[in-house]
Amino acid sequence: MQALIINCSPVKTGATALIVSVISACLKQKYETRAICIADYAFQFCRGCRSCHSTAQCVQHDDVDKIMAEMDDSDIIVAVSPSYWADVPGQFKAFIDRCTPWCNTHEPHASLRPGKRGYAVALRTGPSMRECERIIQTIQHFFGHLEIETCASLGL
């Protein structure tokens, strides 16, 4: 089985990267793992053209396709996100928006291999877990529309 750990931060080093490395080390004991950082990929914002609603493909061909291929090859997907104004960073949100071709709310839609399990990890500075809960909800919502079963979450 393969696990993909996504650093949803635009920062390649720091707290989120540290959590990704800890999770990767733990999962390597049982799974083939790959950790990626959203900052290593280049993609544009969604244009809102809605072409994907009838074609199940985005008119833009960039690194979103590479990330989705990584997700399709994985059985377990762990999204690790810091808090940026009480939600996921804009770079990760832009990626989520670009995943509309895979969204199960319209037909046709592209799809990932079935049976994937997802885990959401949120971190923030400060004492309030409400921000972590909001981030977890965003990731779970994203996973749900891709038909990835959310199995657990963790707020730090």
**pLDDT tens digits along 89-105:** 999 999 999 999 999 99
Q: Would the CA dihedral through 155, 41, 151, 25 be positive or negative?
A: negative
Q: What percent of the chain has pLDDT over 70?
A: 100
Is 90 exceeded by the pLDDT of residue 126?
Answer: no
User: Percent of the chain scored above 90 by pLDDT?
Assistant: 96
- Torsion angle of the four alpha carbons 91, 56, 68, 119, in this order, in degrees rounded to the nearest 10: 80
pLDDT category of residue 127 using cuts at 50, 70 and 90: confident
Confidence of residue 76 (pLDDT cuts 50, 70, 90): very high
- Please, are residues 63 and 98 in contact by the beta-carbon 8 Å criterion? no
Res. 40: pLDDT tops 90 = yes
Architecture of domain 2-155: 3-Layer(aba) Sandwich (3.40)
76-82, strands of its sheet edge to edge: 32-37, 2-7, 76-82, 117-123, 149-155
156 and 121 Cβ atoms separated by less than 8 Å: yes
- Checking if the pLDDT of 125 tops 90, the result is no
Average pLDDT over residues 58-70: 97
Q: Are 14 and 42 in contact (CB under 8 A)?
A: no
Residue labelled with tokens 């996921």: 88
Residue 1: which of 101, 92, 77, 74 has the closest Cα?
74
Q: What is the DSSP letter of 39?
A: G
